Amino acid sequence: MRRLALALALAWPAAAHMVSMSSGELVITGSGARYALRMPLYEVSHVKDPGRAVLDNIHFTSGGVRARLTDRSCREDTAAGAYLCTASYTFAAPPERLDVECSFHSITVPNHVHLLRAEMDGKRDQALFDLSFPKATLRFKPPSAAEIVVTQGAAGFGRALGGAVQVLFLTALVVAARRRRELVALAAMFLGGQVVSALLTPLSNWQPAPRFVEAAAALTVAYLAVEVLLLPQAGARWLVAGVLGAFHGLYFHLFLQTSGYGAGYVLAGAALADALAITVLALAFWQIRRHAAALRPVQVSAAGLAVFGLACFLLRLRS
């Protein structure tokens, strides 16, 4: 029990939110702008003076001159589970294009994503910000077809590998595969379940809560790992992978709903990221199995994944 408690304690800090998204609306009128932010309340529960910290981590610049913050107001909407801020800015001159820098990931969690929608003179543009892409330029012109494909596909690619839970579930798939052919079946069913869930959930009346999605995704890691440990010869594991993939598809449903991006481009980017990650993880793990079989890498890896998944699941239940 002491060893299990120690393992849980070590896994606890690594349990970053799988679903960590906020959105903002910026309306520019002449040399002034009004910004409205909506962020899940649990993202700022640990932040000291969030009203100042949040708005200090997003900046708008035009012509090389940063817009001046002239007014700010933040409040908690406990009924909606949201932290809401509004702010007014003044530019040195009416902007022609807008440079934005957003570092919300530095005060929330590393995989936090912020979607900014902006409007100026009836023209709209938007951008996603995260740890990898903290800066963007909005030009307020319709994007080309190629830009849409690249932008939305890249967003799906990044979201597929945006958190520890996603990556470790792919690791669990590799560990669960007893043969290469089975890994292909597991990966295909996982991707299929993910796509079907993301596409069909909007057709229902059910709106999954982000906390539920996080807890369910963490539990999928633990479930698959426990099956490897307790049912090493179990059949139809491909079917299990498909069902578990459906839970991961709920995350993409939330992302598509928030971003307004096209499901086809986002899910294609996500599938490409998952396929590449599974290939790399499989090559590495098979080398470990070949050269360190005496260390029982399948059982050891499955045990570690089970501990991580359960720790994340319990964390989500308590928060």
Whole-number pLDDT of residue 7: 34
pLDDT in tens, 177-236: 999 999 999 999 999 999 999 999 999 989 898 888 989 999 999 999 999 999 999 889
3-class DSSP string for the chain:
CHHHHHHHHHHHHHCCCCCCEEEEEEEEECCEEEEEEEEEHHHCCCCCCHHHHHHCCEEEEECCEECEEEEEEEEEECCCCEEEEEEEEECCCCCCCEEEEECHHHCCCCCCEEEEEEEECCEEEEEEECCCCCEEEECCCCCCHHHHHHHHHHHHHHHHCCCHHHHHHHHHHHHHCCCHHHHHHHHHHHHHHHHHHHHHHHHCCCCCCHHHHHHHHHHHHHHHHHHHHHCCCCCCHHHHHHHHHHHHHHHHHHHHHHHCCCHHHHHHHHHHHHHHHHHHHHHHHHHHHHHCHHHCHHHHHHHHHHHHHHHHHHHHHHC
Alpha-carbon span 154 to 34, nearest angstrom: 29
Q: Is 21-142 a CATH 3.40.50 domain?
A: no
pLDDT, tens digit, for every residue of 259-299? 899 999 999 999 999 999 999 999 999 999 999 999 999 99
b (16+ CB within 10 A) / e for 148-180: ebebbbbbbbbbbbbbbbbbbbbbbbbbbbeee
Hey, which residues does 27 pair with through a beta bridge?
34, 119
What would the pLDDT profile of 224-272 be if each residue is shown by its tens digit? 999 999 999 988 999 999 999 999 999 999 999 988 999 999 999 999 9
Q: What percent of the chain has pLDDT over 90?
A: 77
Residue ranges of domains in the chain: 21-142, 161-318
In the structure encoding, which two tokens stand for residue 218, read together? 């963490």
Poorest-confidence range of 8-17, 27-36, 96-105, 110-119?
8-17
Half-sphere exposure of residue 275: CA atoms within 13 angstroms, side-chain side: 13
Mean pLDDT of the chain: 90
